[in-house]
C-alpha cells in the first residue's frame, strides 16, 4: 500500500448516540491496526436530517390550529430537553470524545458533490442504508466521490424487509460498490435476491476491538458505585426488560444502574443510580464494570458479549434484526427474554461462553480480512 492513500469513513458520527459514535471510533481503530501508515478520517458530512442544533420554531398555520398547537408544544418540549443541564453536560462529553478520540475531517460537508478528495471511501457501519433515518439521502449508498474505490463495511438497513426506495438504491448504487459487506444476515439475502451476487456478512466494528483494547484505549475512570451492580441500557419502554432486571438484581443481590433518563419510562426505572449525562467513555466504563447487563440495544448486546458479561436481552420492537443475527451466529438465542412470564431461574443467569469467543474471534478474523482486501487500492 502507498503511504499517501487517503481513506474517508462516511457514517453517523455527529449524533449523540453511544452506538453510532463508538462504532465509528472502532472502525477507524480497526483500520489503523491493519496498516498504521494509512491516513484515515471520518468525513464530517452533516446533512439536514442530522440536526444537533437548537430546535427551531415550527411556525403557526392558522388553517391547521390543532397541528400547529401540537408542533408548538413539541417544540417547547424539545427546547426544554436541549437546554436542561444533563443534556448540555452529555453534549459536551460527546463533543470532547469526538475532538480527542476521533479523527474528523477538517473540512465540513453538507453536499455530497463536495466529497471528492479520497482514494477509498467507506460507508458504515450503523444504519446508513435505512432510508427512514437518512430521508432517502443516497450519499450513504456512496453516490458520491466518483473516482474513489468504494467499500461498504457492516452497512445496515436496520430491518429485515426492504422498502421500495431501498431496493431501488441497491440496484442503482450498491451495484457500483467495489467491496460490499453488511451487518445482518438478512441483508445478505436481500441484496443477493436483488443483485444476484454474494455479499459478505461482517461484524459490527465495536466487535473488532477486543475487551483489552477497549480498556487500554478508553479511559477507565473509577465509578461512583461501591457495590456490584446490574446495568440496564434500554432504547425504548419495555416492561419485560424492567421486570427481568428487577428479578435478576434481587436474586443476585445487585444494585440497579441505568444509562439514560426518560420521562415515559420513569415509573418503571426504580434504579439505584441513573446516569443520564455520561459520554462514550463513561458508557464503556459502565459496561466494563457491570456484574450483569439487561438491554434491548444491539450495541448493549455487542458490548455484553465482547466483555464476557452475563446478560439478558429483549428484542427491540423495530430493530431486532441485527440483535437476532448476532445471537444466532454466536448460538446465544437462549439469552432472549420474549415476555414478562419467562422463567428466570438463578442457575440460568450465567452465560455459557464456551465456544462463543472462539466463534467471535473467527468472525473477527473474517471481518478484518475483508477490510484488509478492501483497502488494497489498485
The alpha-carbon radius of gyration of the chain (Å, integer) is 21
Q: What is the pLDDT of residues 133-188, one digit of tens each?
A: 899 999 999 998 888 999 999 999 988 889 999 999 999 999 999 999 998 888 99
At residue 78 the predicted structure's pLDDT band, cuts being 50, 70 and 90, is confident
Task: Tell whether domain 6-51+87-208+363-374 is in CATH 1.10.3470.
Answer: no
Mean of pLDDT values over 266-279 = 80
Q: What is the pLDDT of residues 245-269, one digit of tens each?
A: 999 999 999 999 999 866 556 666 6
Q: What is the pLDDT of residues 283-293, one digit of tens each?
A: 999 999 999 99
Alpha carbon distance 23, 235 (integer Å): 17
43, pLDDT greater than 70? yes
- What is the DSSP annotation of 1-60? --TT-EEEEES--SS--HHHHHHHHHHHHHHHHH-TTSEEEEEEE--TTS--SPPPP---
Write out the three cell numbers for 299.
450495541
54, pLDDT greater than 60? yes
pLDDT at 226: 80
Q: What is the pLDDT of residues 13-32, one digit of tens each?
A: 988 899 999 999 999 999 99
Alpha carbon distance 189, 160 (integer Å): 10
Three-class SS state of 349: coil
158: left (phi over 0), alpha (psi -120 to 50) or beta: left
6-51+87-208+363-374 against 218-344: fold identical: yes
- Residue 302 Cα distances to 81, 277, 326, angstroms: 28, 21, 8
CA 210 to chain centre: 17
Alpha carbon distance 191, 188 (integer Å): 6
Q: What is the pLDDT of residues 198-214, one digit of tens each?
A: 899 999 999 999 999 99
Write out the three cell numbers for 98.
469526538
pLDDT at 53: 62
* Domain 218-344 class, CATH top level: alpha beta
1, pLDDT greater than 50? no
Please, what is the Cα angle at 157 between 18 and 87, to 5 degrees?
25
Alpha carbon distance 336, 354 (integer Å): 18
Alpha carbon distance 42, 102 (integer Å): 8
Contact 317, 236 (CB under 8 A): yes
Partner residues linked to 123 by β-bridges: 10, 152
Q: What is the pLDDT of residues 350-378, one digit of tens each?
A: 998 989 999 999 999 999 999 999 987 65
Domain spans of the chain? 6-51+87-208+363-374, 218-344
Q: What is the DSSP letter of 192?
A: H
Amino acid at each position: 500500500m502507498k503511504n499517501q492513500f487517503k481513506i474517508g469513513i462516511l457514517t453517523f458520527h455527529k449524533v449523540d448516540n453511544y452506538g453510532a459514535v463508538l462504532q465509528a471510533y472502532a472502525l477507524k481503530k480497526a483500520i489503523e491496526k491493519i496498516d498504521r501508515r494509512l491516513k484515515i478520517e471520518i468525513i464530517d458530512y452533516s446533512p439536514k436530517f442530522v440536526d444537533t442544533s437548537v430546535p427551531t420554531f415550527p411556525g403557526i398555520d392558522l388553517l391547521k390550529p390543532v397541528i400547529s398547537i401540537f408542533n408548538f408544544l413539541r417544540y417547547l418540549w424539545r427546547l426544554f430537553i436541549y437546554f436542561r443541564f444533563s443534556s448540555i453536560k452529555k453534549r459536551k462529553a460527546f463533543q470532547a470524545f469526538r475532538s480527542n478520540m476521533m479523527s474528523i475531517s477538517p473540512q465540513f460537508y453538507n453536499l455530497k458533490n463536495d466529497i471528492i478528495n479520497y482514494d477509498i471511501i467507506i460507508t458504515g457501519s450503523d444504519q446508513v442504508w435505512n432510508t427512514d433515518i437518512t430521508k432517502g439521502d443516497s450519499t450513504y449508498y456512496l453516490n458520491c466521490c466518483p473516482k474513489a474505490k468504494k467499500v461498504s463495511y457492516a452497512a445496515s438497513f436496520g430491518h429485515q424487509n426492504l422498502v421500495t426506495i431501498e431496493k431501488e438504491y441497491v440496484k442503482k448504487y450498491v451495484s457500483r460498490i467495489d467491496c460490499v459487506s453488511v451487518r445482518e444476515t438478512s441483508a445478505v439475502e436481500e441484496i443477493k435476491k436483488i443483485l444476484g451476487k454474494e455479499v459478505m456478512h461482517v461484524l459490527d466494528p465495536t466487535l473488532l476491538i477486543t475487551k483489552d483494547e477497549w480498556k487500554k484505549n478508553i479511559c477507565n475512570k473509577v465509578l461512583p458505585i461501591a457495590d456490584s451492580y446490574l446495568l440496564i441500557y434500554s432504547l425504548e419502554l419495555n416492561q419485560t426488560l424492567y421486570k427481568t432486571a428487577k428479578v435478576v438484581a434481587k436474586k443476585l443481590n445487585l444494585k440497579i444502574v441505568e444509562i439514560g433518563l426518560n420521562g415515559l419510562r420513569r415509573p418503571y426505572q426504580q434504579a439505584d443510580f441513573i446516569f443520564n449525562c455520561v459520554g462514550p467513555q463513561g458508557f464503556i466504563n459502565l459496561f466494563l464494570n457491570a456484574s450483569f447487563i439487561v438491554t434491548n440495544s444491539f450495541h448493549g448486546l455487542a458490548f455484553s458479549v465482547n466483555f464476557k458479561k452475563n446478560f439478558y436481552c429483549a428484542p427491540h420492537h423495530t430493530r431486532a434484526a441485527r440483535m437476532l443475527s448476532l445471537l444466532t451466529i454466536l448460538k446465544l438465542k437462549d439469552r432472549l427474554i420474549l415476555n414478562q412470564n419467562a422463567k428466570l431461574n438463578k442457575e440460568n443467569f450465567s452465560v455459557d461462553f464456551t465456544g462463543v469467543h472462539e466463534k467471535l474471534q473467527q468472525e473477527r478474523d473474517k471481518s478484518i480480512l475483508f477490510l484488509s482486501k478492501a483497502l488494497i487500492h489498485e
